[in-house]
Amino acid sequence: MPKLVPLNNVAPEKVERLLDDAFGADRFARTAYLLRKRSKPIAPLSFALLEEGEPVGSIQCWPVRVGDFPIVLVGPVAVTPELQGRGIGHQLMHRMLEAAAKIGEPVMVMIGDPEYYGRFGFSAELTGGWSLPGPWEPRRLLARNAMGVATPQAGMLEEADRAL
C-alpha cells in the first residue's frame, strides 16, 4: 500500500536516485536548481510517496524571494518514470497544498506546464515582471496566490536565506 511520508523520513540518496530517474543526471543544469542550490527543502511542505519502502514520488518546496518578499518554490515534483500517469504527482501536489493551508497559504512559484499545474491554482498571471537567474519560458513560470496578497510586480526570483 503506498504511503505518504515527510521527505525527511527518506534517505537522501534514495530521493536523489528518484530525481535522477525522473529528470536525468543533467538536472542540475536547469534554472530551477540555481534557485535552490544552497538551500534546504521546507520540511513541512516536502513529501515522498513510498511503495514497499522505496520512494516512487516526491515533492520538494524551497525558500525563494523576489526582493524581500518570501515565496515558496515548488518542485521538483518527481515520479518514477514507469509509474507516471497514475496520479502520484496529483496526490503529492494535494498533500503539499493541504500542508500549505496549515501554515497560512504562502505565495508559491514553480517552473512547470500550465496545462497540468493550472488545476492546482498555478498560472503565469503574477509572474510577467519576474525574471530568473537562467533561461526559462515565461509561460512556464507559474505562481499561486491563494490569499490574494500583494506581490512584487517585477524583480529577480532568487534563493532565500531561510524558510518562511
Looking at residue 128, which CATH number applies to its domain? 3.40.630.30
> What's the confidence (pLDDT) of residue 69?
96
CA neighbor of 68 nearest in space, from 144, 135, 152, 163:
152
Q: What is the mean pLDDT of the chain?
A: 94
Domain contains 9:
yes
Domain contains 164:
no
What domain count does the chain have?
A: 1
| Model pLDDT for residues 76-124, shown as the tens digit of each residue | 999 999 999 999 999 999 999 999 999 999 999 999 999 999 999 999 9
Does the pTM surpass 0.85? The reply is yes
Domain contains 30:
yes
| Model pLDDT for residues 9-67, shown as the tens digit of each residue | 999 999 999 999 999 888 877 888 888 888 899 999 999 999 999 999 999 999 999 99
Domain contains 60:
yes
Measured over the CA atoms of residue 157, residue 135, residue 46 and residue 113, the dihedral's sign is: positive
- Contact 164/103 with Cβ under 8 angstroms? yes
Cα distances (angstroms) measured from residue 19 to each of 22, 43, 157: 5, 17, 23
